[in-house]
Amino acid sequence: MLRSSPATASLVVCSSCRLSKDAPADAGGRTGGELFKRALDALLPGHACRDRIAVQAMPCLFACSSHCTVFIRSDERLGYILGRFVPSAAQANALLDYVAEYLDSADGVVPYGSWPEGVKGHFLVRVPPQGFVWNPPP
Cβ(95)–Cβ(118) under 8 Å? yes
* DSSP assignment letter at 129: P
Cα–Cα–Cα angle for 135, 51, 12, nearest 5°?
Answer: 60
- For 34-55, the pLDDT digits (tens) are 999 999 999 999 999 999 999 9
Sorted by where each begins, the domain ranges of the chain are 10-127
The yes-or-no verdict on residue 112 having pLDDT over 90 is yes
The yes-or-no verdict on residue 138 having pLDDT over 90 is no
Q: What is the DSSP code string of 75-100?
A: TTS-EEEE----SSHHHHHHHHHHHH
pLDDT for the residue numbered 7: 62
Give the C-alpha separation, 10 to 69, whole Å.
Answer: 14
CATH topology for 10-127 is Glutaredoxin (3.40.30)
Cβ(89)–Cβ(43) under 8 Å? yes
Give the C-alpha separation, 14 to 95, whole Å.
Answer: 14
